[in-house]
Amino acid sequence: MSVLASEATARPAPVPVRGSGPRGPRLSTRLRAARVPYLFLLPGFAVFVLVMAYPMAQAFRISLHEWNILPGAESTFVGIANYLRALEDPVFWKALVNTGVYMLATVPAQLALGMLVALLLNRAIKGRTWFRALYYLPVVTSWVVVSLLFRYLFVTDAGLVNYVLVDILHVTDTRIAWLQNRWTAMVAICALGIWKGVGWSMIIFLAALQNVPKELTEAAELDGASPTRRFFSVVLPMLRAAVAFVTIMLVIGGFNAFTSIYLMTGGGPGNDTQVLLTYMYEQAFDFLDFGYGSSIAYILTLIVFALSVVQFRVFRYSEED
Protein backbone atom coordinates (compact mmCIF):
# COMPACT_ATOMS: atom_id res chain seq x y z
CA MET A 1 0.00 0.00 0.00
CA SER A 2 2.57 2.49 -1.07
CA VAL A 3 0.09 5.18 -2.03
CA LEU A 4 -0.31 6.35 1.50
CA ALA A 5 2.73 4.83 3.12
CA SER A 6 5.19 6.46 0.76
CA GLU A 7 5.89 9.36 3.07
CA ALA A 8 7.46 7.10 5.66
CA THR A 9 9.29 4.74 3.37
CA ALA A 10 9.80 5.46 -0.25
CA ARG A 11 10.87 9.05 -0.66
CA PRO A 12 14.50 10.08 -0.65
CA ALA A 13 15.26 13.11 1.44
CA PRO A 14 14.31 16.25 -0.48
CA VAL A 15 16.78 19.05 -1.11
CA PRO A 16 18.03 20.70 2.04
CA VAL A 17 16.55 23.99 3.09
CA ARG A 18 18.19 26.72 1.11
CA GLY A 19 21.05 28.51 2.80
CA SER A 20 21.31 26.03 5.63
CA GLY A 21 24.37 24.24 4.36
CA PRO A 22 27.53 23.99 6.43
CA ARG A 23 29.12 26.96 4.73
CA GLY A 24 25.83 28.85 4.80
CA PRO A 25 25.37 32.56 5.42
CA ARG A 26 24.69 34.37 8.67
CA LEU A 27 22.48 32.94 11.37
CA SER A 28 19.60 35.37 10.78
CA THR A 29 19.49 34.44 7.10
CA ARG A 30 19.51 30.76 7.99
CA LEU A 31 16.66 31.23 10.41
CA ARG A 32 14.70 33.04 7.78
CA ALA A 33 15.31 30.16 5.37
CA ALA A 34 14.25 27.62 7.98
CA ARG A 35 10.98 29.49 8.30
CA VAL A 36 10.15 29.15 4.63
CA PRO A 37 8.39 25.74 4.58
CA TYR A 38 6.21 26.76 7.53
CA LEU A 39 5.19 29.93 5.73
CA PHE A 40 4.10 27.82 2.77
CA LEU A 41 2.06 25.63 5.12
CA LEU A 42 0.58 28.35 7.27
CA PRO A 43 -2.48 29.53 5.31
CA GLY A 44 -3.56 26.00 4.41
CA PHE A 45 -3.15 24.70 7.92
CA ALA A 46 -4.97 27.68 9.39
CA VAL A 47 -8.05 26.72 7.38
CA PHE A 48 -7.48 23.03 8.03
CA VAL A 49 -7.37 23.46 11.79
CA LEU A 50 -10.41 25.72 11.87
CA VAL A 51 -12.57 23.56 9.61
CA MET A 52 -11.34 20.00 10.25
CA ALA A 53 -9.04 19.49 13.24
CA TYR A 54 -10.78 21.70 15.77
CA PRO A 55 -14.27 20.34 14.91
CA MET A 56 -12.91 16.80 15.21
CA ALA A 57 -11.80 17.49 18.79
CA GLN A 58 -14.92 19.50 19.53
CA ALA A 59 -17.16 16.63 18.38
CA PHE A 60 -15.72 14.43 21.10
CA ARG A 61 -16.27 17.08 23.76
CA ILE A 62 -19.86 17.61 22.61
CA SER A 63 -20.54 13.87 22.68
CA LEU A 64 -19.79 13.85 26.43
CA HIS A 65 -22.37 16.53 27.16
CA GLU A 66 -26.04 17.11 27.05
CA TRP A 67 -25.21 19.92 24.67
CA ASN A 68 -27.02 23.20 24.88
CA ILE A 69 -26.80 24.71 21.42
CA LEU A 70 -27.63 28.26 22.47
CA PRO A 71 -24.50 30.39 22.00
CA GLY A 72 -22.56 30.71 25.22
CA ALA A 73 -24.99 28.58 27.21
CA GLU A 74 -23.76 26.03 29.77
CA SER A 75 -23.92 22.37 28.85
CA THR A 76 -24.25 19.51 31.28
CA PHE A 77 -21.43 16.99 31.37
CA VAL A 78 -22.93 13.53 31.15
CA GLY A 79 -19.86 11.35 30.60
CA ILE A 80 -20.51 8.42 28.32
CA ALA A 81 -24.29 8.56 28.77
CA ASN A 82 -24.84 9.45 25.11
CA TYR A 83 -22.83 6.40 24.04
CA LEU A 84 -24.75 4.13 26.39
CA ARG A 85 -27.98 5.54 25.03
CA ALA A 86 -26.92 4.61 21.51
CA LEU A 87 -26.29 1.02 22.57
CA GLU A 88 -29.85 0.75 23.86
CA ASP A 89 -31.47 2.61 20.99
CA PRO A 90 -33.11 0.21 18.51
CA VAL A 91 -33.05 2.86 15.77
CA PHE A 92 -29.30 3.25 16.23
CA TRP A 93 -28.86 -0.49 15.69
CA LYS A 94 -31.12 -0.42 12.70
CA ALA A 95 -29.09 2.44 11.23
CA LEU A 96 -25.88 0.55 11.97
CA VAL A 97 -27.18 -2.59 10.21
CA ASN A 98 -28.35 -0.53 7.23
CA THR A 99 -24.95 1.14 7.00
CA GLY A 100 -23.31 -2.29 7.02
CA VAL A 101 -25.70 -3.60 4.37
CA TYR A 102 -25.03 -0.58 2.19
CA MET A 103 -21.30 -1.19 2.53
CA LEU A 104 -21.46 -4.91 1.81
CA ALA A 105 -23.67 -4.37 -1.22
CA THR A 106 -21.95 -1.40 -2.80
CA VAL A 107 -18.21 -1.80 -2.14
CA PRO A 108 -17.63 -5.26 -3.70
CA ALA A 109 -19.96 -4.47 -6.60
CA GLN A 110 -18.17 -1.23 -7.43
CA LEU A 111 -14.79 -2.94 -7.19
CA ALA A 112 -15.78 -5.86 -9.41
CA LEU A 113 -17.71 -3.90 -12.02
CA GLY A 114 -15.16 -1.11 -12.11
CA MET A 115 -12.42 -3.66 -12.67
CA LEU A 116 -14.41 -5.47 -15.34
CA VAL A 117 -15.07 -2.32 -17.35
CA ALA A 118 -11.47 -1.16 -16.92
CA LEU A 119 -10.14 -4.48 -18.23
CA LEU A 120 -12.49 -4.38 -21.22
CA LEU A 121 -11.54 -0.81 -22.00
CA ASN A 122 -7.82 -1.40 -21.57
CA ARG A 123 -7.39 -2.49 -25.17
CA ALA A 124 -7.44 -0.95 -28.59
CA ILE A 125 -11.18 -0.94 -29.31
CA LYS A 126 -13.18 1.55 -31.27
CA GLY A 127 -14.93 4.23 -29.26
CA ARG A 128 -12.77 3.69 -26.20
CA THR A 129 -12.76 7.36 -25.26
CA TRP A 130 -16.53 7.56 -25.59
CA PHE A 131 -17.12 4.49 -23.47
CA ARG A 132 -14.81 5.83 -20.83
CA ALA A 133 -16.45 9.25 -20.75
CA LEU A 134 -20.00 7.87 -20.67
CA TYR A 135 -19.21 5.34 -17.95
CA TYR A 136 -17.77 8.20 -15.95
CA LEU A 137 -20.82 10.42 -16.38
CA PRO A 138 -22.65 9.30 -13.21
CA VAL A 139 -19.56 10.13 -11.15
CA VAL A 140 -19.59 13.78 -12.15
CA THR A 141 -23.35 14.21 -11.79
CA SER A 142 -24.50 15.67 -8.51
CA TRP A 143 -25.86 13.40 -5.79
CA VAL A 144 -28.94 15.57 -5.53
CA VAL A 145 -29.81 15.12 -9.20
CA VAL A 146 -29.20 11.37 -9.31
CA SER A 147 -31.02 10.77 -6.02
CA LEU A 148 -34.14 12.49 -7.32
CA LEU A 149 -33.70 10.66 -10.61
CA PHE A 150 -33.56 7.25 -8.93
CA ARG A 151 -36.53 8.14 -6.80
CA TYR A 152 -38.39 8.79 -10.03
CA LEU A 153 -37.21 5.53 -11.61
CA PHE A 154 -38.39 3.58 -8.56
CA VAL A 155 -41.84 5.18 -8.36
CA THR A 156 -44.37 2.41 -7.71
CA ASP A 157 -47.12 2.93 -10.28
CA ALA A 158 -45.40 4.16 -13.39
CA GLY A 159 -41.69 4.06 -12.57
CA LEU A 160 -39.36 2.68 -15.23
CA VAL A 161 -38.02 -0.08 -12.99
CA ASN A 162 -41.44 -1.56 -12.31
CA TYR A 163 -42.40 -1.13 -15.94
CA VAL A 164 -39.38 -3.13 -17.07
CA LEU A 165 -39.91 -5.83 -14.44
CA VAL A 166 -43.67 -6.21 -14.91
CA ASP A 167 -44.45 -5.33 -18.49
CA ILE A 168 -41.27 -6.22 -20.34
CA LEU A 169 -39.48 -8.96 -18.43
CA HIS A 170 -42.64 -10.33 -16.74
CA VAL A 171 -40.62 -11.22 -13.66
CA THR A 172 -43.53 -10.33 -11.44
CA ASP A 173 -47.18 -9.32 -11.79
CA THR A 174 -47.37 -6.88 -8.92
CA ARG A 175 -45.75 -3.48 -8.95
CA ILE A 176 -43.27 -3.35 -6.13
CA ALA A 177 -43.60 -0.45 -3.70
CA TRP A 178 -39.83 -0.01 -3.72
CA LEU A 179 -39.44 2.98 -1.44
CA GLN A 180 -42.20 1.99 0.97
CA ASN A 181 -40.49 -1.07 2.47
CA ARG A 182 -37.19 -1.40 4.24
CA TRP A 183 -35.35 -3.93 2.13
CA THR A 184 -36.73 -2.94 -1.26
CA ALA A 185 -35.85 0.65 -0.43
CA MET A 186 -32.34 -0.48 0.50
CA VAL A 187 -32.12 -2.22 -2.87
CA ALA A 188 -32.95 1.06 -4.61
CA ILE A 189 -30.49 3.03 -2.46
CA CYS A 190 -27.71 0.49 -3.03
CA ALA A 191 -28.45 0.37 -6.77
CA LEU A 192 -27.88 4.11 -6.89
CA GLY A 193 -24.66 3.81 -4.90
CA ILE A 194 -23.28 1.17 -7.26
CA TRP A 195 -24.48 2.91 -10.43
CA LYS A 196 -22.87 6.18 -9.37
CA GLY A 197 -19.57 4.68 -8.26
CA VAL A 198 -18.56 2.16 -10.92
CA GLY A 199 -17.07 4.85 -13.17
CA TRP A 200 -14.80 6.08 -10.41
CA SER A 201 -13.29 2.64 -9.73
CA MET A 202 -13.01 2.14 -13.46
CA ILE A 203 -10.96 5.29 -14.02
CA ILE A 204 -8.54 4.52 -11.20
CA PHE A 205 -8.10 0.93 -12.40
CA LEU A 206 -7.64 2.11 -15.99
CA ALA A 207 -4.89 4.46 -14.86
CA ALA A 208 -3.23 1.65 -12.91
CA LEU A 209 -3.54 -0.83 -15.79
CA GLN A 210 -1.41 1.44 -17.97
CA ASN A 211 1.48 0.66 -15.66
CA VAL A 212 1.23 -3.10 -16.16
CA PRO A 213 3.91 -4.01 -18.72
CA LYS A 214 2.45 -5.67 -21.82
CA GLU A 215 5.41 -8.06 -21.90
CA LEU A 216 4.25 -9.70 -18.69
CA THR A 217 0.77 -10.60 -19.90
CA GLU A 218 2.12 -11.61 -23.27
CA ALA A 219 4.67 -13.92 -21.68
CA ALA A 220 1.94 -15.53 -19.59
CA GLU A 221 -0.19 -15.89 -22.70
CA LEU A 222 2.63 -17.64 -24.55
CA ASP A 223 2.95 -19.99 -21.59
CA GLY A 224 -0.67 -20.96 -22.22
CA ALA A 225 -2.25 -19.22 -19.23
CA SER A 226 -5.99 -18.69 -19.63
CA PRO A 227 -7.37 -15.13 -19.49
CA THR A 228 -8.73 -15.76 -15.99
CA ARG A 229 -5.42 -17.15 -14.85
CA ARG A 230 -3.56 -14.24 -16.44
CA PHE A 231 -5.76 -11.79 -14.60
CA PHE A 232 -5.45 -13.35 -11.16
CA SER A 233 -1.79 -14.37 -11.35
CA VAL A 234 -0.24 -11.56 -13.37
CA VAL A 235 -2.42 -8.46 -13.62
CA LEU A 236 -4.14 -8.36 -10.23
CA PRO A 237 -0.91 -8.57 -8.19
CA MET A 238 0.41 -5.61 -10.17
CA LEU A 239 -2.71 -3.63 -9.27
CA ARG A 240 -2.44 -4.22 -5.55
CA ALA A 241 -1.85 -0.56 -4.69
CA ALA A 242 -4.78 0.56 -6.80
CA VAL A 243 -7.13 -2.08 -5.38
CA ALA A 244 -6.12 -1.12 -1.86
CA PHE A 245 -6.62 2.57 -2.58
CA VAL A 246 -10.02 2.04 -4.21
CA THR A 247 -11.24 -0.30 -1.46
CA ILE A 248 -10.29 2.06 1.33
CA MET A 249 -11.82 5.05 -0.43
CA LEU A 250 -15.04 3.16 -1.20
CA VAL A 251 -15.43 2.06 2.40
CA ILE A 252 -14.98 5.63 3.61
CA GLY A 253 -17.36 6.83 0.90
CA GLY A 254 -19.90 4.21 1.95
CA PHE A 255 -19.89 5.54 5.49
CA ASN A 256 -20.30 9.03 4.05
CA ALA A 257 -23.56 8.15 2.26
CA PHE A 258 -26.15 10.74 3.23
CA THR A 259 -27.68 12.69 0.36
CA SER A 260 -29.10 9.68 -1.47
CA ILE A 261 -30.91 8.34 1.59
CA TYR A 262 -31.97 11.78 2.76
CA LEU A 263 -33.57 12.54 -0.60
CA MET A 264 -34.84 9.10 -1.62
CA THR A 265 -36.50 7.94 1.59
CA GLY A 266 -35.64 10.48 4.27
CA GLY A 267 -34.69 7.47 6.41
CA GLY A 268 -38.26 6.22 6.21
CA PRO A 269 -40.68 4.54 6.16
CA GLY A 270 -40.57 5.00 9.93
CA ASN A 271 -36.86 4.75 10.57
CA ASP A 272 -36.43 1.70 8.39
CA THR A 273 -33.78 3.05 6.02
CA GLN A 274 -31.86 5.29 8.41
CA VAL A 275 -28.10 4.99 8.12
CA LEU A 276 -25.80 6.33 10.82
CA LEU A 277 -25.33 9.71 9.16
CA THR A 278 -29.00 10.40 8.44
CA TYR A 279 -29.82 9.40 12.01
CA MET A 280 -27.05 11.63 13.35
CA TYR A 281 -28.32 14.51 11.24
CA GLU A 282 -31.89 14.02 12.37
CA GLN A 283 -30.91 13.89 16.03
CA ALA A 284 -28.89 17.08 15.71
CA PHE A 285 -30.92 19.29 13.40
CA ASP A 286 -34.47 18.05 13.94
CA PHE A 287 -34.28 17.29 17.66
CA LEU A 288 -31.36 19.67 18.41
CA ASP A 289 -29.68 16.87 20.38
CA PHE A 290 -26.08 17.64 19.42
CA GLY A 291 -24.67 15.51 22.23
CA TYR A 292 -26.35 12.35 21.04
CA GLY A 293 -25.68 13.18 17.38
CA SER A 294 -21.98 13.65 18.12
CA SER A 295 -21.76 10.35 19.98
CA ILE A 296 -23.18 8.62 16.89
CA ALA A 297 -20.58 10.46 14.77
CA TYR A 298 -17.80 9.29 17.09
CA ILE A 299 -18.96 5.68 17.09
CA LEU A 300 -18.90 5.87 13.30
CA THR A 301 -15.40 7.32 13.40
CA LEU A 302 -14.20 4.47 15.60
CA ILE A 303 -15.69 1.90 13.22
CA VAL A 304 -14.04 3.56 10.22
CA PHE A 305 -10.74 3.74 12.06
CA ALA A 306 -10.89 0.06 13.06
CA LEU A 307 -11.78 -0.96 9.51
CA SER A 308 -8.94 1.12 8.09
CA VAL A 309 -6.44 -0.55 10.41
CA VAL A 310 -7.74 -3.96 9.32
CA GLN A 311 -7.53 -3.01 5.66
CA PHE A 312 -4.01 -1.65 5.98
CA ARG A 313 -2.96 -4.92 7.62
CA VAL A 314 -4.61 -7.06 4.98
CA PHE A 315 -3.06 -5.14 2.12
CA ARG A 316 0.34 -4.90 3.76
CA TYR A 317 0.47 -8.63 4.51
CA SER A 318 -0.43 -9.49 0.95
CA GLU A 319 2.37 -7.19 -0.15
CA GLU A 320 4.86 -9.25 1.83
CA ASP A 321 3.90 -12.55 0.21
Partner 1 sequence: MSVRDDRTTRRDPLVYLVLVAGLVLTITPFLVMISTSFTDQSLVLELPPKLLPADPTTRNYTDALSSSGFALYFANSAVVAVATVAGVLLLSSMMAFAFARFTFPGKSVLFGALMAALMIPGMILILPQFLVARDLGLIDSRLGLVLFYIGAQLAFITFLLRGFFQSVPKELEEAMELDGAGPWRVYWNLMLPLSRPALATAAIFTFLGAWDEFAWALTIINDPDKRTLPIAIALFQGQYSTSWGLVFAASVIAVVPVIVIFVFFQRHFVSGLRSGALKG
Residue 121 CB, nearest distance to partner 1 (Å)?
7
Residue 158 has a CB neighbour count (10 Å cut-off) of: 9
Nearer to partner 1, 298 or 315 (CB): 298
Task: Give the residue, chosen from 68, 75, 184, 308, that forms a contact with partner 1 under the rule CB under 8 A.
Answer: 308
Question: Please, which of residues 75-104 interact with partner 1 by CB under 8 A?
Answer: none
* 3 state SS of 140: helix
Task: Looking at residues 219 to 278 of the shown chain, list those that interact with partner 1 (rule: CB under 8 A).
Answer: 221, 241-242, 245, 248, 252-253, 255-256, 258-259, 262-263, 277
Is 290 a residue that touches partner 1 (CB under 8 A)?
yes
Determine the interface stretch with partner 1 among 49-57, 84-92, 100-108, 228-236 (rule: CB under 8 A): 49-57
Residue count (the chain): 321
- Of residues 168 through 187, those in contact with partner 1 by CB under 8 A are none
Q: Does 16 bind partner 1 (CB under 8 A)?
A: yes
The bridge status of strand 65-66 relative to strand 76-77 is antiparallel
Q: Are 316 and 1 in contact (CB under 8 A)?
A: yes
Decide if residue 143 touches partner 1 (CB under 8 A). Answer: yes
Distances (CA, A) of 43 to 53, 57, 225: 14, 20, 55
Under the criterion CB under 8 A, does residue 320 sit at the interface with partner 1?
Answer: no
The 3-state DSSP class for residue 122 equals: coil
Residue 318 C-beta: closest distance to partner 1, Å:
16
Estimate to the nearest angstrom the gap between the alpha carbon of 195 and the chain centroid: 14
Identify the bridge partners of residue 77 per DSSP, sorted by sequence position.
65
Rounded to the nearest whole angstrom, what is the least distance from the CB of residue 185 to partner 1 in the complex? 17
Site size toward partner 1, by CB under 8 A: 111
With binding defined as CB under 8 A, does residue 55 bind partner 1? yes
Whether 69 contacts 291, CB under 8 Å: no
Binding segment for partner 1 (CB under 8 A), chosen from 73-81, 88-96, 297-305, 313-321, is: 297-305
122 part of the interface to partner 1, by CB under 8 A: no
